Amino acid sequence: MKTVYSDRHRLQDGQSELIDGKLVKCFECPERADLVLARVRDRGIGDVLEPTSHGLDPVRRVHTPAFVDFLSTAWDEWVAAHGAYDALPITWPTRGLRQDRIPDAIDGKLSYFSLDAGTPITSGTWSAITAAADVALTGVDLVLGGERHAFSLCRPPGHHASADVYGGYCFFNNAAVAAQSFRDRGAGTVAILDVDYHHGNGTQAIFYDRSDVVFASLHGHPQQEYPFFLGWDDETGTGAGEGANRNWPLRHGTAWDAYGAALDEACAYLAGHRPDVLVVSLGVDTFKDDPISKFRLEHEDYLRIGAKIAALDVPTLVVFEGGYAVSEIGINAVNVLEGMSA
């Protein structure tokens, strides 16, 4: 299996995020991708390729022009207003406030376009996120070029980003950009399987009213886990997308027996839509020792996840998402890839 990777991910190196009432060093750090890459090479699973540039047009197929423009200038606007430290929002347009006007002030723009205060914009954010989109799109190139499976080692992750909102460490939705590119290049139906611990709220929102991209997610229950306000099992799509969205919310402490059973159901659901291609949002924060998650999966369970994905027998692009047990992240991510190839 070929891996696509860019060193430019290291340019996103936020110094602080707000979690549990404290400003702490970001859990989403460069070491995450570096350790996955090292494991890919140590295990010899295939060639590692640099991404090719695809420009912003494929990104704009998923994200609004105003959102893309905001991200392209946010750092410079922040520095001009405040100085060269991480940009974080301070307020949000919640119930009773207007959402139809974008403020001129950078503090207002950050708040308008963001989901949380855990996703800093830094001097390197724009370069890192455009590279991550190219990593995903180069994976699309590989699969359409005849590779049965490919791995896009994206960082920052993407599945919490919707058409015009960033958050949850995510800016551009790499998996959604890839799925839309598959559609634009001839795939009839694209399936997305999200196995990150946190619900892929952004991906769901982007495709919720469409039947050509089918979404299935296994994740921490929104009664207990971020992002809290999406990911229930009664969210099944709307309009043309009715029936093309399914969620499997799972409670704290979920281990392999319950997780594997839910994954079987999700795979059967996706198979029923007869997809031409599969995009997997691969998060390994379901691991028992992940510092910000509460599932109980073991190393060997990721081999099983990979085997179940491969059993769908569909050309597959794996797009890297979350996972914060940094010392174990490479083992778990590559176990999925090796499980797919067994």
With both helix axes pointing from N to C terminus, report the angle between 65-81 and 106-113 in degrees, rounded to the nearest 10. 140
How many angstroms from the chain centroid is the CA of residue 140? Answer: 15
Name the H helices within the chain.
30-43, 57-60, 65-81, 106-113, 125-144, 174-184, 201-207, 256-271, 299-311, 326-341
160 is catalytic: yes
DSSP letters along 246-306, please? EEEEE-TT--HHHHHHHHHHHHHHHHTT--SEEEEEE--TTBTT-TT----B-HHHHHHHH
Count of positions (residues) in the chain: 342
Q: Which of 12, 342, 334 is nearest to 172 (CA)?
A: 12
In whole angstroms, what is the distance from residue 204 CA to residue 207 CA?
6
Catalytic residue among 160, 199, 219, 221: 160
DSSP letter for 196, please: S
Alpha-carbon distance values, 16 to 8, 22, 120 (Å): 20, 9, 7
Q: What is the spatial order of strands in the sheet that 149-152 belongs to?
A: 48-49, 2-4, 149-152, 316-320, 277-282, 190-194, 213-220, 245-250
Q: For 165, which DSSP code? A: B
Angle between helices 174-184 and 125-144 (to 10 degrees): 40
* Active site residues per annotation: 160
